[in-house]
Amino acid sequence: METYHGKSIFNGIAIGKICKYEKEQQQVKRIRISDPEAEINRFDHAREEAGAQLQSLYDKALTQVGESGAMIFEIHRMMLDDDDYLDSVYHIIRSQQVNAEFAVASTGDNFSRLFASMDDEYMQGRAADVKDISDRLIRILMGQTDKHDIMEPVIIMAEDLAPSETVQMDKDNLLAFVTTLGSSNSHTAILARTMGIPALVGIPVRDEWNGKTAIVDGHSGTLIIEPDDALLAGMQAKKEEELRQKQLLAELKGKETITKSGKKINLYANIGNVSDVGAALANDAGGIGLFRSEFLYLEAQDYPTEEEQFQAYKKAVETMDGRPVIIRTLDVGGDKEIPYLHMVKEDNPFMGFRAVRYCLANPDQYKVQLRALLRASAFGDVKIMIPLVTCVEEVLAVKELVEQCKAELTEEGRKFNENIEVGIMVETPAASLLADRLAEVADFFSIGTNDLIGSTMCADRGNDTISNLYQVYYPAVLRSLKNIIESGVKAGIMVGMCGEAAADPLLEPLLISWGLEEFSMSAPSILRARKTISQWTKAECDELAEKALACNTAAEVKALLESAAR
């Protein structure tokens, strides 16, 4: 028995035989050609065929994983028309007088390396998309076909998997993915989550594992090769219990989220893209608690126009059909680099010129987004959220820009919600300490626990050496959460949470005790949270919260919450 550790993309347990996925090797040769324009014409025909194939994949994905997963192939179709990509292929064919296969392979390699070298994990995930598109074009040019047949239930093992390879596999026979490459933001990872398939990345795969029985434990991020009988029986029982719990949770669909003592709680979804709205609705989200608007900027070659942003926000708002949609304004900097913004490299970017600081320093750019958000508010319940607030002045400055935009739109005769709410993401110790004052100028709070934990405990969540300090259970973090929530409640504004901690079943009773009204999380976590919340009365939550605040260490807090878990 051998055990290997990787990064979990989706929780769950899979037990079965490993099948090593072998990609068809593409031997691309450099061939001199005499007629570049004829070669370009051949490439354009291949592009048309690739577009038709991607349309078929989109249609198939739509039935298997819904619009959210299918949008990946729509994005791939758009990449076929990317000017930079096309210019590179055409230039190589004409200047070097070489075959289209070689020009596509060279362009794909160059663009892939460019994306992979970026610090931002989202952009790194796009490297696989460029390679997928390039490989598809090369297959068409070489007259090859896709082969993705899976004849029996297996755990697919590969160095990497492209989204098109993933969606073409028979879902009924797909138990799990295990790959060496990939990230939590790759489109294949997104598909795995949407399909509800356990997946691990970061495990160097071996040929000798092919055909062996294995366990993929998405909860602990482990791969177990040839488990012994006792472990196999234990994990099988755990898997069956998971299935039973999933069936029970499905019964909660369509019901309100109410505590045992009758208090209604709002359960919203965090999304990073317009295409994620479908998954939010499919999982019964009552609204969108965090719409990360930076996807519009990360996927663009230049600053997105007001009209482009307006159309994206409008689509999300109309799809949510009257449910609240909280849209965070551009959160750039830190680990999110956007090349065309030409931001200066900093030694400590997370505490530097980013988010609302960048936006307020570039008011004309910022107003483009604010105008788009205001225009979208005419079509539904849009709320504007400011990231990385540390002082009252920042909130007032943004509100002043919003008022300027309102005046401009009124003069132009455009419609918008005059009473649109402008709230803040509370994710810094400064905002926590100043919560009572900020509650006087902000229309709502949404707590971003991911950054709040890190900055409160001075612990980088990506640093394994100090990962023990990156926990929501530390007394300093709990006191901070209590202060933020109670300050907002006292001021009469809505207080929500959009950080990962909102989906923590151990923490949720404490948040109920302190008065949190809105929990926003990844869509698949919503029904589980509804179940947890329904099992607690306010009095029980208050009693547990009092005991938790009396603890001196994170270990004591966690042990207490685990002993009380339901």
Cite the active site residues: 187, 498
**φ and ψ at residue 222, rounded to 5 degrees:** -115, 150
- Number of CB atoms found within 10 A of residue 59's CB: 12
**Alpha-carbon radius of gyration of the chain:** 25
Helices (H), 413-448: 429-433, 435-441
User: Got the DSSP string for 156-217?
Assistant: EEES---HHHHHHS-GGGEEEEEESS--TTSHHHHHHHHHT--EEES----GGGTT-EEEEE
CB proximity list for 409: less than 8 A, separation 6 or greater: 371, 374, 375, 416
Q: From CA 328, how far away is CA 498, in angstroms rounded?
A: 11
DSSP structure class, residue 35? -
CA dihedral 270, 276, 282, 288 (to 10 degrees): 30
- DSSP element (H, E) containing 31: none
Buried b (16+ CB within 10 A) or exposed e, 461-496: eeeeeeeebbbbbbbebbebbbbbbbbbbebebbbb
